[in-house]
Amino acid sequence: MSARPLEDRAETIRRFNRFYTRQIGVLHEHLLDSEFSLTEARILYELAHRDGLTSSDLCRELGLNAGYVSRVMTGFEKKGLLVKMRSAGDARVAQLQLTDAGRATFQPLNDASRREVGAMLERLAEPAQQQLVSAMAEIEALLGETDRSYILRDPQPGDMGWIVSRQAVLYAQEYGWNAEFEALVAEIVAKFIREFDPKAERCWIAEKDGKPVGSVFVVKQDEETAKLRLLYVDAGTRGLGIGHRLVDECLRFARLAGYKKMMLWTNSVLVDARRIYEKAGFRLVEEEPHHSFGKDLVGQIWARDL
């Protein structure tokens, strides 16, 4: 490749960066007319949506200087937005947690950001909105690291049938479950489609290289309780963090929807899924033997507060 085309492409990207930073207000001293800079608001976002983060996690994942993060954390503590808690697994590690005041401070920022982006999208027709989102997903996939080379999206026509098929095949191959399980999955999916409440329920499809590779649902159990259902990740893409990401998105959505608690039903043989739930803060609250799907199983209910 000659130098000239490379320079031209670099200039195109720089021009786009200037355009987009102007669009989203990055050049303003404070974000969304708040007292916080863009970086401080991003740190608040991470703390609001992920449990057990440390300063090192923030430095690594956001590419920030350790001294800067330390100063921000100190400032948040002085304002009563943040507390540091010793990790149960390693007393030398301090985990960061927003206080109630911290969450109350973050929520208006989150709402304002959503309104601002919504207003930008409303200027576009529906096909143009889809085109914009797809283009952003493609940029993210091209520039992301290997473990981030997938996207999460809303379901499209045909995805629900794919979910039933893949769940049935996976559990037949790995656990020997019979067609009763496929019937159960089909019933869950059909109920979701027929009774879908967009304010209280959600489905995500994980897509890699243009193909669906994972999925999960949040459905309404009652006014205060959300239920996580049908977590699935293709065997070939395990290890990329997709399962953890899907569960994190479920928790984030449930909090924003106003739920106070999230629960799920699983079986003791699903060891990998249980590890994901445990890491996300779920705790076993009930278990009972049962005979289903042609097997003797131990059903488990896991739950956590939001």
The domain spanning residue 259 has which CATH number?
A: 3.40.630.30
Flag whether 143 is in a domain: no
- Clarify whether residues 162 and 295 are in a common domain: yes
Rounded distance, CA 56 to CA 153, Å? 29
**Domain, as residue range, for 24:** 3-108
**In this structure, is residue 240 part of a structural domain?**
yes
Cα–Cα distance between 104 and 94 in angstroms, integer?
Answer: 22
The reply to whether 138 falls in a domain is no
Asked whether residue 104 falls in the same domain as residue 158, the answer is no
Q: Are 164 and 258 in contact (CB under 8 A)?
A: no
Model pTM?
0.54
Residue 306 contacts residue 260 (beta carbons within 8 Å): yes
pLDDT for res 3 = 53
- Looking at residue 111, its pLDDT comes to 85
The token pair at 22 is 């102007």
Query: What CATH number is given to the structural domain containing 63?
Result: 1.10.10.10
Residue 193 lies inside a defined structural domain of this protein? yes
Task: Tell which residue, 52, 47, 20, has the closest CA to residue 36.
Answer: 47
Task: Indicate the Cα dihedral angle 150, 152, 158, 160, nearest 10°.
Answer: 120
Nearest partner of 172 among 184, 163, 183, 181, judged by Cα: 181
Query: What is the tally of structural domains in the chain?
Result: 2
Of 93, 108, 123, the last residue of a domain is 108
Same domain, 213 and 267: yes
Domain membership of residue 134 (yes or no) is no
Inside any domain, residue 131: no
CA distance 168 to 3: 52
d(CA 271, CA 276): 9
List of residues 6+ apart from 132 with CB closer than 8 A: 121, 124
pLDDT at 32: 55
Q: Do 204 and 92 reside in the same domain of the chain?
A: no
- Claim to verify: residue 69 and residue 156 sit in the same structural domain: no
The H-or-E segment that residue 179 falls in is helix 179-195
Same domain, 103 and 236: no
Burial (CB count <10 Å: 0-12, 13-18, 19+), residue 1 = exposed
Q: Which residues of the chain have pLDDT under 50?
A: 1-2, 27, 29-30, 146-147
Do residues 294 and 234 both lie within one domain? yes
Burial of 97 (0-12, 13-18, 19+ CB in 10 A): middle
First-to-final CA distance of the chain: 52
pLDDT for the residue numbered 1: 43
Same domain flag for 41 and 158: no
The span from the CA of 303 to the CA of 49, in Å, is: 17
User: What pLDDT score does 217 carry?
Assistant: 97
Give the pLDDT of residue 270.
92
- Rounded Cα gap, residues 197 and 275, in angstroms: 29
Residue 29 neighbours by CB distance under 10 Å:
6
Q: Are residues 219 and 279 in the same domain?
A: yes
97 lies in the same domain as 204:
no
User: Given 54, 84, 108, which residue is the final one in a domain?
Assistant: 108
Task: State whether 53 and 169 are in the same domain.
Answer: no
- pLDDT for 27: 43
**Measured distance CA(162)–CA(160) in Å, rounded:** 5
Other CB atoms within 10 A of residue 141 CB: 16
**Alpha-carbon gap, residue 117 to 282, rounded angstroms:** 32
